[in-house]
């Protein structure tokens, strides 16, 4: 038997191990009772394991799997009802663009599920969110790259930049997002940051987002400008927020993807563990509730996530900040601010997971975490995320 170890299961989420590449990923699967018990036992030992975890158990989000080492073997295909189809297309799509242009909104619309956080503050997407958009005929693996950053203030920013580059190198095509409200400018800078000095550029689509905010005449003029002064293969105006033009974007991407079997089972929407979404939701709420530099100084870690068949899931989260003054702000008078944050986050997490949870949020000070390369890697900024 090949790459996947099959689990027989009945409820909730499970893990599948790719024994050949030692990759762990989550998919909608279920556990037998014995597995639930075992998972609970493992959970109790989790804290210890985190410290000794080796490189092999990290998910590499930028790695494009080799087709020959297909993730799905014949057994899986059969189980998922996927019959070999020579017209099936699949591939990797890098979404690049300046901060706040709507990359997360576009990805979420394409996948039809809220998977990356959307706020009106720039640079909130730190990790690359890998969303998977599937239909019986295709599978698009979307890289929602972090916002391209101009000022390199922290080591964190440099590591984010590297992630952006890796994303484009692996892509079968690139979607460059620009804000339709802004005066057209050369996209060379964004491209250079995104693609680096690639010899052979993948097919490129320029998506002019937020078209709902400008007049039709202006759209036409800007569209013409981009067609004339950039070397992208096509320009499509869309309104990601209102879902206009999304199908056209999908159609263009589809035409650029190579023929081939799916990389992942069709029921997967993302390669990230659920706990990653939990921390992203908490981060989103921090951005919504606090001002100035506070949200940018926060790192959210999920310390423990226990699934309990007979009770609410128990989730323990820590928010790491640079300074004590930030901690005081986060907690607020008599802990009121933190309570508001935790409630808002819990409601959204419950909505996302479709079940009730118990959420515990704690604030910790770790001076200068944003300059500490070791800590940053540990938090997953090296283009990898810890699989737990």
The least distance separating ligand GTP from the CB of residue 120, rounded to whole angstroms, comes to 4
Nearer to ligand GTP among residue 33 and residue 189 (C-beta): 189
**Parallel, antiparallel or unpaired: strands 138-144 and 89-97:** parallel
Nearer to ligand GTP among residue 88 and residue 103 (C-beta): 103
The least distance separating ligand GTP from the CB of residue 62, rounded to whole angstroms, comes to 17
The least distance separating ligand GTP from the CB of residue 370, rounded to whole angstroms, comes to 17
DSSP letter at 341 equals: H
Closest-CA residue to 235 (of 255, 205, 256): 205
Residues engaged in binding ligand GTP (CB under 6 A)? 97, 99-105, 118, 120, 122-125, 147, 209-210, 212-213, 239-241
Element (H, E) at 73: none
Nearer to ligand GTP among residue 172 and residue 284 (C-beta): 284
Residue spans of alpha helices (H) in 101-241: 103-111, 155-169, 188-195, 216-229
257 three-class SS: coil
Cα separation, 88 vs 333, in Å, equals 57
Nearer to ligand GTP among residue 4 and residue 195 (C-beta): 195
Nearer to ligand GTP among residue 243 and residue 261 (C-beta): 243
Cα separation, 149 vs 164, in Å, equals 10
The least distance separating ligand GTP from the CB of residue 129, rounded to whole angstroms, comes to 9
Nearer to ligand GTP among residue 240 and residue 357 (C-beta): 240
Distances from the Cα of 65 to the Cα of 168, 334, 365, angstroms: 15, 50, 38
The least distance separating ligand GTP from the CB of residue 99, rounded to whole angstroms, comes to 4
The least distance separating ligand GTP from the CB of residue 18, rounded to whole angstroms, comes to 30
Is residue 139 a contact partner of residue 133, using CB atoms and an 8 Å limit? Answer: yes
362 three-class SS: strand
């Amino acid at each position: 038997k090949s790459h996947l170890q099959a689990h027989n299961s009945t409820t909730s989420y499970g893990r599948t191990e790719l024994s050949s590449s030692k990759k762990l990923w989550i998919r909608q699967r279920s556990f037998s009772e014995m597995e639930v018990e075992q998972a609970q036992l493992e959970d109790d030992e989790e804290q210890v394991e985190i410290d000794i975890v080796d490189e092999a158990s990290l998910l590499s989000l930028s790695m494009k799997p080799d087709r020959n080492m297909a993730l799905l073997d014949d057994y899986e295909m059969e189980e998922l009802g996927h019959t070999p189809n020579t017209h099936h297309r699949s591939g990797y799509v890098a979404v690049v663009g300046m901060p706040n242009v709507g990359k997360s909104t576009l990805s979420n619309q394409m996948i039809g599920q809220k998977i990356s956080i959307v706020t009106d503050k720039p640079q909130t997407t730190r990790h690359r969110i890998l969303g998977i958009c599937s239909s019986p005929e295709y599978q698009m693996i979307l890289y929602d790259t972090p916002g391209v950053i101009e000022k390199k203030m922290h080591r964190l920013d440099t590591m984010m930049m590297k992630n952006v580059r890796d994303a484009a190198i692996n892509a079968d095509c690139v979607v460059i997002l620009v804000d339709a409200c802004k005066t057209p400018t050369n996209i060379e800078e964004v491209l250079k940051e995104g693609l680096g000095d690639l010899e052979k550029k993948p097919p490129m689509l320029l998506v002019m987002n937020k078209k709902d905010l400008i007049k039709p005449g202006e759209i036409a003029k800007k569209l013409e400008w981009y067609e004339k002064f950039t070397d992208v293969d096509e320009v499509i105006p869309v309104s990601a927020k209102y879902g206009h033009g999304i199908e056209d974007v999908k159609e263009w991407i589809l035409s650029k993807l190579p023929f081939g079997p799916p990389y992942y089972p069709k029921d997967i929407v993302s390669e990230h563990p659920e706990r990653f979404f939990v921390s992203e939701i908490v981060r989103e709420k921090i951005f919504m509730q606090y001002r100035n530099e506070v949200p940018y100084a926060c790192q959210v870690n999920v310390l423990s996530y226990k699934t309990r068949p007979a009770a609410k899931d128990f989730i323990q989260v820590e928010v790491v900040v640079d300074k004590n003054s930030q901690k005081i702000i986060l907690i607020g008078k008599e802990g009121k601010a933190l309570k508001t944050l935790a409630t808002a986050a819990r409601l959204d997490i419950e909505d996302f997971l479709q079940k009730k949870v118990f959420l515990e949020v704690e604030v910790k000070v770790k001076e200068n975490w944003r300059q500490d390369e070791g800590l940053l890697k540990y938090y997953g900024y090296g283009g990898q995320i810890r699989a737990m």
